[in-house]
Amino acid sequence: MADDLSTNHSRPYWRIWGVLLMLTVVMIFVDQSPMSRGLLILVLVAAMLTKAFLIGAYFMHLRFETMTLVVTVVVGLLITGALLFVVIAPDGLRALHLSAW
């Protein structure tokens, strides 16, 4: 819990900062490399989610909060994101086919 954090002097903020910057540089490098579009998106989204996890877990201290809060925040947002994708992606692709047609 956050209240207990005052006793912990070794939280890895600068290490997380380094990892976040490294991931950002990797993303830029990958973005400019001759990679297939599908693989590029996969790598970028994976790096993005890793960065989001690190910020949420360490900077926002979710790692030290109760599981109830973690589940409420993470699962709620994930389900909403998945629902938005499932509902919107087919319509978006259909609109693409219609505009191409």
Positions touching other proteins (CB under 8 A) are 1-3, 5-6, 11, 13-14, 16-17, 20-21, 24-25, 27-28, 31-32, 40-41, 44-45, 47-48, 51-52, 55-56, 58-60, 65-66, 68-69, 72-73, 76-77, 80-81, 84-85, 88-89, 91-93, 95-96, 99-100
The residues, any chain, with a CB within 8 Å of residue 26's CB and separated by 6 or more, are 47
Q: ∠2-48-82 over CA atoms, to 5°?
A: 90
